[in-house]
């Protein structure tokens, strides 16, 4: 622990420099020295200040489920980890290597009702969607809080309950992509991965800490993760007792804790975030695997691993745990707020 503290102290001056650079960049956008272009769609951005693992994917899926049956919706992502570049529309033959694991997950879950696209240039991506699918009136931007070249109508900032941005520093001493003052751009802040039951005084303390850096009127909502019944890679629910965990996500700790609390975890294999699985990885995961044990992954890992294990004929030995976000007691308040911001979209669809 002491060694870690000394490393953090040594890196702090570099964090100041990094923070100054990001502040200057944001200042340039704030004072219109750099241009932000507004797409034709109504744009909701879902992002964070912290590098990775704040729960953007479940929140994006929550909003997609909330809106897509009410207004024609598209999701635009950078497609982090893909082996391609440029604008690509997801289609039935798409692969995670082509569009990225999270966009692939969106496509598998919401196709054909929702258009999913990737582009490292969000402005060009939005323009291409407007030409390809002009009926899509709502555009959800996955992980775009710092992508200020594209203007948005609603800026949602996620804050991990376990790793709050207000206690962190910019890279490299910390995990922030910019200084904590960036929270001032948020129209609403969602605390993610909270305990399902959270004492009022804890909520109040967190809200006060957040509002040191956000606008005073910015609403703060609390959410938590709900894990679903285990699903076999071969299809259908499966009963689990002994499991071997495998995860390639930014923050596997909540997933690990969930599995440990409910199953007999015989082994834990952690890969880097957005890991590109290989046939050798799949083979290693089932090596010496006992008949009563399943390899259990996240849904994000499943979209990349499933084709490999299907090709090997071992899909029946793999399962994943679906996850979704819940706003609990804040559900009504969050829906009231976001529908107030977007009400005109529904009127236009009548």
Residue 117 parent element (H or E): strand 115-118
Q: What angle do CA 166, 171, 177 make, to 5 degrees?
A: 65
Which sign does the torsion angle of CA 8, 26, 124, 102 carry?
positive
Task: State how far the Cα of 252 lies from the Cα of 271, in Å rounded to an integer.
Answer: 9
Question: How far is residue 202 CA from its own chain's centroid?
Answer: 24
- End-to-end CA distance of the chain, in Å? 59
The SS3 of residue 318 is strand
Determine if residue 79 is labeled as part of a ligand binding site: no
Q: Which of 225, 212, 150 lies closest to 182 in space, CA to CA?
A: 212
Going by C-beta distance under 8 Å and a sequence separation of 6 or more, which residues neighbour residue 280? Answer: none
Determine if residue 248 is labeled as part of a ligand binding site: no
Determine if residue 12 is labeled as part of a ligand binding site: no
Contact 22, 135 (CB under 8 A): no
Task: State how far the Cα of 313 lies from the Cα of 129, in Å rounded to an integer.
Answer: 38
Determine if residue 53 is labeled as part of a ligand binding site: yes
The SS3 of residue 203 is helix
Strand partners, 243: 265, 294
Determine if residue 57 is labeled as part of a ligand binding site: yes
How many residues can be counted in the chain?
350
Contact 64, 106 (CB under 8 A): yes
Q: Which of 174, 170, 178 lies closest to 147 in space, CA to CA?
A: 178
Determine if residue 54 is labeled as part of a ligand binding site: yes
Q: Which residues are annotated as a binding site for ATP?
A: 50-57
Binding-site residues, please? 50-57
């Amino acid at each position: 622990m002491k060694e870690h503290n000394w490393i953090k102290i040594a890196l702090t001056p570099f964090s100041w420099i990094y923070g100054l650079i990001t502040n200057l960049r944001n200042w340039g956008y704030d004072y219109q020295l750099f241009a932000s272009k507004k797409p034709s769609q109504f744009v909701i951005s879902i992002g964070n200040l912290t590098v990775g693992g704040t729960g953007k994917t479940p929140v994006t899926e929550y909003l997609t489920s909330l809106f897509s049956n009410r207004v024609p919706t598209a999701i635009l992502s950078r497609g982090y980890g893909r082996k391609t570049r440029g604008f690509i529309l997801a289609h039935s033959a798409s692969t995670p290597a082509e569009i990225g694991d999270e966009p692939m997950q969106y496509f598998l879950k919401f196709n054909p009702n929702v258009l999913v696209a990737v582009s490292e240039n969000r402005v060009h991506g939005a323009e291409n969607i407007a030409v390809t699918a002009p009926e899509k009136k709502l555009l959800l931007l996955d992980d775009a809080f710092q992508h200020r070249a594209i203007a948005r109508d609603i800026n949602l900032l996620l804050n991990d309950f376990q790793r709050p941005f207000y206690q962190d520093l910019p890279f490299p001493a910390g995990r922030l992509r910019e200084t904590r003052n960036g929270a001032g751009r948020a129209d609403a802040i969602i605390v993610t991965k909270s305990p399902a039951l959270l004492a009022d005084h804890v909520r109040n303390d967190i809200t006060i800490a957040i509002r040191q850096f956000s606008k005073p009127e910015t609403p703060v909502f609390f959410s938590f993760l709900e894990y679903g019944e285990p699903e076999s890679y071969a299809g259908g629910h499966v009963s689990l007792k002994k499991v071997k965990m495998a995860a390639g996500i930014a923050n596997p700790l909540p997933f690990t804790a969930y599995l440990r609390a409910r199953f007999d975890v015989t082994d834990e294999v952690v890969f880097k975030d957005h890991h590109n699985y290989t046939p050798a990885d799949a083979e290693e995961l089932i090596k010496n695997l006992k008949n009563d044990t399943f390899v259990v992954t996240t849904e994000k890992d499943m979209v990349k691993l499933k084709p490999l294990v299907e090709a090997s004929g071992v899909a029946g030995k793999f399962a994943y745990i679906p996850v979704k976000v819940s706003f609990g007691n804040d559900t009504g308040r969050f829906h009231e707020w976001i529908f107030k911001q977007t009400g005109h979209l529904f009127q236009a669809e009548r």
